Structure 1
């Protein structure tokens, strides 16, 4: 079931790419602007890229929460903030440059799956 839900999410993410054509490179650039802003450097921040990053991260997280209720792809804590999620995405993309060609939403999903893996189903009782 998890594989089916993940496949649906990835198909939706990749189909959105035909509209926006945004990939991990654009996401990393935009989210690095957001992190600069979070860290207090408000002087040289592209204020058009930052909301793009925040909105895409939040939207992907919300979509995951809706689609993954029975068998989640990632076990993201309920109390994680969007700021923390953005930092995770930046960390993941910097550590995995081979993923930068992927759709932006897919890279968010992959970063959350890497940071918050779910325990195997048979281990959860």
Structure 2
């Protein structure tokens, strides 16, 4: 029974595209997030779906950032990201990822999680 439920959940995730989100999806979402932050008092006309998409960008970026911070001490040196001790504002983190994605269009086929890690690794290399 548990295997059957697991198979149904996995099939649903695959059908929804949640498992397969790539850099193209993340770039679109993060562009909406940046646009909404840059133009909060204008007639931007964001739809409820746009709000969800911006939230998905924020969730991905914050989730990866938090995970990198939690595992900072046990990450092998060649994979380490040297995050600033003072932290990072969410909007700055989104801008880092957005810029990385725009500057690296050939990598947009990679998964959104991997690309978010690469963006932080490029922005905060260990010296």
What is the TM-score normalised by the length of structure 1? 0.75
**Cα distance change on mapping 1:19 and 1:48 into 2, 3 Å:** closer
What is the TM-score normalised by the length of structure 2? 0.74
Question: Counterparts of 1:31 and 1:65 in 2: how far apart (Å)?
Answer: 21
Corresponding residue of 2:117: 109
Cα drift, residue 40 of structure 1 = 1.5
Cα drift, residue 39 of structure 1 = 0.2
Secondary structure class of the residue paired with 1:20: coil
**Cα deviation per residue 1:71-93 (whole Å; 9 max; x = unaligned)?**
46211213211110100001001
Unpaired stretches in structure 1, ≥5 consecutive residues = 1-16, 120-125
Corresponding residue of 1:57: 61
Cα drift, residue 70 of structure 1 = 3.8
**Cα deviation per residue 1:19-73 (whole Å; 9 max; x = unaligned)?**
5211000000000000001101562331110000001100011111122224462
Corresponding residue of 1:88: 96
Corresponding residue of 2:19: 20
Corresponding residue of 1:44: 45
Question: Counterparts of 2:45 and 2:81 in 1: how far apart (Å)?
Answer: 34
Aligned residues: 104
